[in-house]
Amino acid sequence: MKERKRDMKRKLDWKPKFDPRSKNYGVSAILPKTVENKRVVWKEGPVLDQGSEGACVGFGWMNELLAEPIVPSKQPKDSFANTLAVKYYRRAQEIDEWAGEGYDGTSVLAGAKIMRQEGFIDGYRWCFSAQDLRDAIISEGPVVIGVPWYSGMYSAQGGIVNITGSKVGGHCLVVTGYTPKMVINGRKTAAFKWFNSWGPGYGKNGSAWISVKDMNSLIKQGAEMCVPIGRNVPKFNSGLFSLFIR
């Protein structure tokens, strides 16, 4: 209960403003015509915690960098990764679709542009449906998403997300897995696994499963789903990085 009250005080700072040109860069155009419907779960990096900082886009992209399939030769300490996540969030605000920086939040797109500038990825594509998301997870790896957030989603008891309560904002996470068979609320269903940046107290060690049905509901409300293309081994731009690895 204490963890739920604490999480409900967190800032929800994902802000979408869709570029119509993104429609020309759907991920389905570069994926196999048929993708096997199978369970895939990519190994996640350290569990980060953004605290009261509303920098979820920076943390969503940092979680993608630290997860399989392409990971650093050594994982950074949590404190250093948290600091970098905030840095990338601030830089995304500088180039995003809104004037100035006197506001909270930014878009997944702005975060993707910073990742490309840093040399972490060569480019990015977009998912426009739950099937796109499933196929991208299976074929390419984790997908960074921004979704509408409901009050009941602060809690992921037993590692399961349910869409309940009222809409309270938008949040960015990274989707790291998919399974065609998961028991959720007593029923077998397909589900996605996502990784949050609210510490190990969220779900099970920072991650949780959400049914494809519920994810599809969030997608229809205007989710932003970005697939990194041409992932490169993360080499963080710091001569002191060796002091901050595990």
Q: Is 203 a member of any domain?
A: yes
Q: Over 50: is that where the pLDDT of 32 sits?
A: yes
Q: Over 90: is that where the pLDDT of 13 sits?
A: no
How many residues can be counted in the chain? Answer: 246
CATH number at residue 36: 3.90.70.10
Q: Over 90: is that where the pLDDT of 48 sits?
A: yes
Q: Is 119 a member of any domain?
A: yes
Cα angle for residues 223, 24, 191 (degrees, 5° grid): 35
165/200 Cα distance (integer angstroms):
23
Percentages helix, strand, coil for the chain, rounded to the nearest 5?
35, 25, 40
Rounded to the nearest 10°, the torsion over CA 124, 129, 134, 137 is 10
Closest CA to 169 of 142, 136, 147: 147
* Residue 42 lies in domain: 2-232
Closest CA to 150 of 140, 165, 135: 165
Q: Is 246 a member of any domain?
A: no
Q: Is 9 a member of any domain?
A: yes
Q: Is 62 a member of any domain?
A: yes
Q: Is 239 a member of any domain?
A: no
Give the H or E element holding residue 138: helix 130-139
Q: Is 211 a member of any domain?
A: yes
- Give the tens place of pLDDT for each residue, 112-170: 999 999 999 999 999 999 999 999 999 999 999 999 999 999 989 999 999 999 999 99
Please, are residues 164 and 142 in contact by the beta-carbon 8 Å criterion?
A: no
Q: Is 243 a member of any domain?
A: no
Domain count, the chain: 1
How many other β-carbons are positioned within 10 Å of the β-carbon of residue 211?
Answer: 20
Closest CA to 157 of 200, 204, 104, 190: 204
7/109 Cα distance (integer angstroms):
25
Looking at residue 183, what is its pLDDT? Answer: 94
DSSP-derived letter for residue 242 is G
Closest CA to 31 of 171, 108, 136: 136
Q: Over 80: is that where the pLDDT of 3 sits?
A: no
